[in-house]
Amino acid sequence: MKYIDELNSEQKKAVLHRDGPLLIVAGAGAGKTKTVTHRILHLIREGVAPENILAITFTNKAAKEMSERVSKLLDSDPDISRSVVGFENKPFVSTFHALGVHILKENSALLGIPRHFAIFDKSDSLRAIKEAMQTLNIDTKAFEPSRMQNIISREKGNAVTYMSYKERLRNEYIPKVIASVWEKYEEILKSEKALDFDDLLLKSAMLLKNNPDILEKYQNKWKYIHIDEYQDTNKVQYATAKLLAKKFRNICVVGDSDQSIYGWRGADIKNILDFEKDYPDAKVILLEENYRSTQNILEAANRIIQKNKLRTPKKLFTKNVAGEKIGLCGAYDEVDEARFVAKKSRQLIEDSGVSPRSIAVLYRANFQGRALEEAFMAESISYQVLGTKFFERKEIKDIVSYLRAAMDPTILSDIKRVINIPARGLGKVTLVKLFSGKKDELPVAAQKKIDGFYLILKRIAEKAAVEKLSETIKFILAESGIETALRQGGAEDQERLENVREMVTFATKYDVLPIDEGMEKFLSDVALASDQDELMKNHDAVKLMTVHASKGLEFDYVFVTGLEEDLFPHKRMGVEKVSDEDSEEERRLFYVAITRAKKKLYISYAGVRTIFGSRQVTMPSQFVYDIEEDIIEKEEQFEGGGKIIYLD
């Protein structure tokens, strides 16, 4: 079989294993997506119905790639009939959050939520938290809203509901404050017919746990389950996977304990390390052959990660060439370091013909990006900062809110957002009276403006019922007055206008679906968009991002900057001693950074760095010393830089 011959010996074992639990420990660049997609193909060839296969990953980018590769494999296989794999009976490939949306929408009536519920992103949730705190007269300086938001999010990720949190409360002041804010926050979500991102996971898991009939329906639907990046699962995701797999136990998890870097947001490395305890009969397969990087890059990665204790032992190897040595730059300060990165990038682009999109610059903390951006601007090099989500831009959220409000005018969060966009002269007092049911007390002129707004929503709804989605969005732009307002604005408004036009282009891919289905999928996809979706535009520009944001990506040339003690590895302010657990996660994070590189890796540090307005002398990171000198070469600075600092 040709598709089996394409695999190495360990990949073949994973693909040919059919029934029972399977753990695939896949090192960085070891072809895990290829292994999983070929496994899905093999299951279908063996007679498993495509609709009985579930594959879950963490990012939209990864889910999109996996779905496309599965479709391509199935379409090109001569032994699989078109009647076997059609539009209605494909494997279900999605993210955990998209799976939650799917389950919640199918059972919305039971849960008492509208099928087209709103999904609050982080900024929406923070607004609601602030509103809850203001209602309760809680000082936002004494209790930081974002901190409150993080605590509630972390609890939900640990499978804790508001009621269970309240029940375990002791007579302590701060937890009581959190509980009161959480309660009011839940009331706001309910009143605005919304769920937050954590609810998508928690409520779907609770639904499965508390309703045996519904659980059995999904168990019978998805008899073969695949979970990618299993090391990144939190308690709720772990519980969902375990519930769905309980009946048939055909669960295949793929991951790497060495790439577990999200402990700070609830991911539990024990989920992958204890898989064999959960499933004693599990088959375990190690994928150690790397297809991405040169041997020198892998040598550095292996030497870095072998110091960790919480891991499944393995050693990456490759048949690729040894490649170039790792470039090391010891800069005078962060400006000098950024200048080196930008000028070296220019050298790669102009002298070696490297495409800008093949270069990535990684850093541990977001504040490091400022100096780097200035350096790239000074060199006139096109760059793209990964982090600003397209679908979190104000103008894009406005269009989506118009669409959702037209579908359901009772969703107050969307009405509040756009009733004055563009400006209609409706003041705060007017809106307070409107939303408290006292519209008839308003002046006639104000009532006419409000009626005009709701008439716009009615016309949008009528349009959406009969037109393709892209045409509906064009109609919203014109009918709402947004397009006219942006045309009359300055340069920033022109950029916003370009973004909303891009939204129309994006929407065309949903035009092939039935109108209702296209609308529903569009709204779900927009709500679940991630940082990495920005890369789908594929700008020919150098990518600047945090190491966390780089997870799952790969580039020919990678710069890892800021390798200084207390920065990378990072030390939280106010913490005297870093725990062993945090220390190992920082080492895993550096391992992830290194293994993004395919051809050449550069690492750098600054001897002096300005932090919070204060210039501080720094020490090179322990990670620099962990890489043997035989695979390192010192990079020469460019003219005009500060004093060069070399390691002895």
Q: Give φ, ψ of 412 to 5 degrees.
A: -65, -30
> Which segments of 246-361 does DSSP mark as H helices, in order?
270-273, 275-278, 295-305, 334-351
Residue with tokens 């990087």: 293
Residue with tokens 């495509």: 50
Residue numbers annotated as active site? 32-33, 228-229, 259, 596
- The burial of 569, by beta-carbon neighbours within 10 Å (0-12 exposed, 13-18 middle, 19 or more buried), is given as buried
Q: How far is CA 580 from CA 40, 480, 577, 583, in A?
A: 39, 55, 9, 5
- Measured distance CA(269)–CA(593) in Å, rounded: 18
- Measured distance CA(316)–CA(256) in Å, rounded: 12
The residue ranges of the chain whose pLDDT is under 50 are 536, 644, 646, 648
pLDDT value at residue 277: 97
Q: Residue 221 has which token pair? A: 């639907």
- Measured distance CA(169)–CA(160) in Å, rounded: 12
Can the peptide bond before residue 443 be classed as cis, meaning omega within 30 degrees of 0? Answer: no
pLDDT value at residue 575: 66
Q: How much of the chain is helix, strand and coil, in % rounded to 5?
A: 55, 15, 30
pLDDT value at residue 375: 95
pLDDT value at residue 87: 55
pLDDT value at residue 646: 47
pTM as predicted: 0.83
